[in-house]
Structure 1
């Protein structure tokens, strides 16, 4: 192999560092302001709702208040995680603390699941033996809660919901909004018909909403922790597109994951036809990744296939045998151009 046929590894961040850092800082400050506004509304109302819930003997109101407590906790977690994730990478944390946001989102999801289990049990118990519930207090408190939650939801909708962390807190608040609507309906039913089980039924509706939101957050955060490809991106399809580029002979060791929500990353080993311009191929592939998949954090190791002997070995299916100088232990499927694409 000639002197210029050495490994070419390159990393593409996309954009200009100073400009992006400034705009992200402004956006993060705005997100914090909106989250703090929502937090203030929720905490103020929650305190009053707890008192009214016990006075009215309403599980629906108590469950709403408990869920509002998790709303407040989720927003606090989101604010703390935003602070941590904004810290620059240093020492052993080569990505910084960006995944603190994903930890927060997972904690929000787990909290929703645990709380839904407890409230579900209590609601079923009250269906069998319903206590006397003051319907008027339930209705009035639920209507006020709808107004408060609408305001909090509006505040949080202004924040950056592409962050799984912010989305987790937002899902808490939206679930609570639906819960208050169900509680208001229960209050009307109790007042007009005396059907006391309506309170427990409203609680079960809240539980179903909490389960849905909780499962979604745990699933999405789990995918990131397990280094799964981002939803909507098929690694095999990406490899097929890249290996079809001019001069590309083979792609293997392709990995696609998310550093944190909304920040996909990719690494791959690219083999280029002899005599091809490795640098030009790399730049073209990184441009394609940015334009087609919005992957701007890409690390590509680009090598020439090498000698005529190596060319003959292209017929062999195992990458370690075909290119012993490159990868002794390739991970994942191998994608080749032409008749040897797979």
Structure 2
């Protein structure tokens, strides 16, 4: 058994990772400001919409105001998550605080489910007992809300949409925007026909439309928090690719691939090699291949010349050796048999 890490290669990987981190830091600073602007716009108009809902009796406005209240808090948390992510790593938090953004994204997804469920419940109650709604004031508040939400949406839309935290923020504002559209549509129908049930019906429709997006956000954030492999990366395909592409590698095993925040991917693996003297070269080539072919720039490689360093995995990392030994034995027996036949 032998182990070797190439410190120079590891440092190179860290430098590469650090360069990418600086780029992400610049992007994060812009996203942080975008989220703060959206939070201020949302919180400011939320008060106006709540008052409008109470005065007009519109569930669509009240539902959207409740959604905007939750969104204001969620956008504030998203801003604070970007703020925390700028802190450097510590001895206790060696990867820094980037995953806080994922935690907030997960919380935002759950919050959308809760608010949506409340809107559906209130819509059902209101549908059972329709109440009068002042269509004119409702239309005015809805149009003003739409303008504010469009402004907030475009502020966030220019951000990094691969970032889960930004995706959560955009989803919240999109929900507000759809709520304003529903309020305007309901107001117009009420003014033209006097049919009040349209108010709760459109409110519930907007809530249901958001459930699918909220589920995707919660699912993706949950996978990151559980350190699952990103959708774009397949552990077994990566192992096969390295075994085929990197000279000197006999077997790749104990591969772990995960993401810090849904964007920055990391990996650890064991590589069994034929000649321990090539350990540094193999480590360098493995890291280069992972960076160029799979976009993984933070990698830890453990090289081995014999059985796997982790005893419980010997059956995995010894598979190739057993296969080679079996092939050699089969050839030898076949050769002996042939000799006897001769």
How many pairs align?
Answer: 319
- 2:312 is paired with a residue whose SS is coil
Distance 1:20 1:224, change over 3 A: closer
Distance in 2 between the 1:335 and 1:222 partners? 34
**Aligned: 1:167 with 2:167:** yes
Distance 1:6 1:126, change over 3 A: closer
Larger mean CA deviation between 210-219 and 123-132 belongs to 210-219
Deviation at 1:47, TM superposition (A): 1.0
- What is residue 281 of structure 2 aligned with on the other side? 280
**Aligned: 1:7 with 2:4:** yes
Distance in 2 between the 1:331 and 1:224 partners? 29
- What is residue 39 of structure 1 aligned with on the other side? 39
Distance 1:236 1:25, change over 3 A: closer
- What is residue 318 of structure 1 aligned with on the other side? none
- CA-to-aligned-CA distance 1:58-110 (integer Å, 9 cap, x gap): 11111111111122112110111111122111122111222111111111111
Distance in 1 between the 2:321 and 2:137 partners? 73
- 1:62 is paired with a residue whose SS is helix
Unmatched 5+ residue regions in structure 1? 306-322
Q: Which has the larger radius of gyration?
A: 2
Alignment map for 1:173-184 (pairs within 5 Å): 173-184=173-184
Unmatched 5+ residue regions in structure 2? 325-342
Distance in 1 between the 2:217 and 2:69 partners? 18
- 1:96 is paired with a residue whose SS is coil
- CA-to-aligned-CA distance 1:154-199 (integer Å, 9 cap, x gap): 1111222222111111110012212221221111111111111110
User: Higher helix share goes to which structure?
Assistant: 2
- CA-to-aligned-CA distance 1:108-130 (integer Å, 9 cap, x gap): 11111111111111111111111
Larger mean CA deviation between 142-151 and 272-281 belongs to 272-281
**Aligned: 1:330 with 2:324:** no
Superposed CA RMSD in Å reads 2.4
- What is residue 227 of structure 2 aligned with on the other side? 227
- 1:174 is paired with a residue whose SS is helix
Instruction: State TM-score, norm by structure 1.
Output: 0.86
Deviation at 1:146, TM superposition (A): 1.4
Asked whether the equivalents of residues 89 and 95 of structure 2 are also in contact (C-alpha less than 8 Å), the reply is: yes
Deviation at 1:213, TM superposition (A): 2.7
Asked whether the equivalents of residues 243 and 335 of structure 1 are also in contact (C-alpha less than 8 Å), the reply is: no
Distance in 2 between the 1:332 and 1:181 partners? 60
- 2:219 is paired with a residue whose SS is helix
Asked whether the equivalents of residues 182 and 202 of structure 1 are also in contact (C-alpha less than 8 Å), the reply is: yes
